[in-house]
Amino acid sequence: MPISAATASAPKFMTLERHIIEEERRYPAATGEFTGLLHDLSLAAKLVWREVTKAGLVNILGSTYRYNVSGDVVKKLDEFADDTIYKAMDHGGHLCVMASEENEDVLQIPDHYPKGKYVLLYDPLDGSSNIDANVTIGSIFSIYRRVTSKGRGTLEDCLQPGHKQVTAGYVIFGSSTMFVYSTGFGVHGFTLDPTVGEFLLSHEGIKIPKKGKIYSVNEGNSHRWDDRVKRFVDYLKEEDKATGRPYSSRYIGTLVADFHRTLLYGGIFMYPRDKKNPEGKLRLMYECNPMAFLVEQAGGSASNGEQRILEIQSSSLHQRTPLFIGSKDDVKAAEEFLKGRR
Ligand code: FDP
């Protein structure tokens, strides 16, 4: 039967699964292991999504009154997400080791499962202080190739500089749920269609504007900032039509959400060091590195104020760093202020 003109011109649905397979075709020597790994990750994302959307309905909300290694209060949903991601990823044979925000040490693959050539670092539920208020939260992931040769993965496999990432991404649980990722060939966003349970390509080849109009920072901390940071934020608030100032302010307090808006609209998100957090607050390995990889893939930049985030050599799993991330021109201006050149 001939295809009608209307059918021929109908939009093509690209599921995340199909996109992952097509991405792998870029590597002629690919074994399919990477496809399997991302497939497991998308399943983990759906399992976490299912629980996040039920959060107000079941008795899963609320703190367990324990603290995680970074000192934040651990919520029950954080634990659920942590366990779910670990269990979705531990038996596929793709990973040799994992590390998560919720655990002090690396997470080993159980002895009875095969070990693979990849390493996964993740923040299972970012923005946990926003959970009880039904504000956007997310999960962040970062994938490396192992550097040890075989057997169990080690800390050395995890502590690689961000430019060695082979994939990074996040899942954002907002007014809709999205899976945003990059394998080093641009940044692509998929929106979950809950009626079919599939992530569908909705944002292909995301590009961040070269310069934005929004700054995002917790200004409640400004009394603890260095003068250079204060001067940069004051500069953004000054009126000057020629340079598009003043900027607007937006701050959600969930890195995934503030980053996602910055990626789409442009501007700058910052979490500078301050007197209380001399190394900054955000974690390099599973918060800043994956976002830095994505922003660079989208044409933006990420810096700690002095250095490109992706070039920082980490010395510990839960290392913190100051973060200035977003549109290229805005991050460049931040660096100039921080280096005392303006
Ligand atoms: P949270 O503590 O709620 O988990 O690193 C975690 C994080 O949120 C980021 O998602 C967020 O950008 C930042 O901390 C918010 O910190 P402040 O509450 O200090 O602004």
- What are the tens digits of pLDDT across the range 164-202? 999 999 999 999 999 999 999 999 999 999 999 999 999
pTM for the predicted model, two decimal places: 0.93
pLDDT of residue 207: 98
Q: Which atom of ligand 1 is nearest to the CA of 258?
A: 12
Q: Which two tokens stand for residue 164?
A: 């060695």
pLDDT of residue 31: 78
User: Which sign does the torsion angle of CA 193, 194, 195, 196 carry?
Assistant: positive
pLDDT of residue 76: 80
Alpha carbons 127 and 95: distance in angstroms, whole number: 26
Q: Is the pLDDT of residue 308 over 70?
A: yes
Could you tell me what percent of the chain has a pLDDT over 90? 80
CA of 68 to the centre of ligand 1 (A): 14
Alpha carbons 193 and 129: distance in angstroms, whole number: 27
CA of 161 to the centre of ligand 1 (A): 23
Q: Which two tokens stand for residue 124?
A: 């299972």
264 is an active site residue: no
Confidence of residue 4 (pLDDT cuts 50, 70, 90): low
Could you tell me what percent of the chain has a pLDDT over 70? 91
- Rounded CA Rg of the chain: 20
Alpha carbons 120 and 167: distance in angstroms, whole number: 10
| DSSP 8-state assignment for residue 308 | B
Q: What is the pLDDT of residues 46-84, one digit of tens each?
A: 999 988 887 766 555 555 545 566 666 555 888 889 999
User: Looking at 24, 82, 102, 329, which residue is catalytic?
Assistant: 102
User: How far from chain centre, in Å, is Cα 92?
Assistant: 22
Q: How many helices (H) and strands (E) does the chain have?
A: 9, 15
* Mean pLDDT of the 13-36 span: 84
| DSSP 8-state assignment for residue 70 | T
Q: Is the pLDDT of residue 101 over 90?
A: yes
Q: Which runs of consecutive H residues, i.e. helices, occur in the chain?
A: 5-8, 16-24, 33-53, 76-89, 155-158, 227-237, 255-265, 289-297, 328-338
Is 188 in contact with 182 (CB distance < 8 Å)? yes
**118 strand-pairing partners:** 95, 145
**188 strand-pairing partners:** 181
Residue 226, helix vs strand vs coil: coil
125 is an active site residue: yes
pLDDT of residue 72: 64
Average pLDDT, the chain: 92
What is the separation, in whole angstroms, between the first and last Cα of the chain? 69
pLDDT of residue 8: 60
pLDDT of residue 23: 82
Q: Is the pLDDT of residue 331 over 70?
A: yes
| DSSP 8-state assignment for residue 13 | P
pLDDT of residue 162: 98
Q: Of 92, 140, 151, 115, which is closest to residue 255 (Cα–Cα)?
A: 140
Q: Of 115, 86, 94, which is closest to residue 32 (Cα–Cα)?
A: 94
DSSP H or E stretch at residue 97? strand 95-100
Longest Cα–Cα distance in the chain: 72
Q: Which atom of ligand 1 is nearest to the CA of 70?
A: 5
Q: Which two tokens stand for residue 268?
A: 């700058």
Confidence of residue 142 (pLDDT cuts 50, 70, 90): very high
| DSSP 8-state assignment for residue 311 | G
- Say which residue the tokens 């641009």 belong to: 186
User: Which sign does the torsion angle of CA 142, 20, 255, 263 carry?
Assistant: positive
Q: Which residues have CB under 6 Å of ligand 1?
A: 72, 126-130, 218, 253-255, 258, 281-282, 287
Q: Which two tokens stand for residue 8?
A: 């021929």
Is 18 in contact with 24 (CB distance < 8 Å)? no
Alpha carbons 183 and 75: distance in angstroms, whole number: 31
Nearest residue by C-alpha to atom 16 in ligand 1: 253
Alpha carbons 72 and 66: distance in angstroms, whole number: 9
pLDDT of residue 62: 53
Q: Which atom of ligand 1 is nearest to the CA of 72?
A: 2
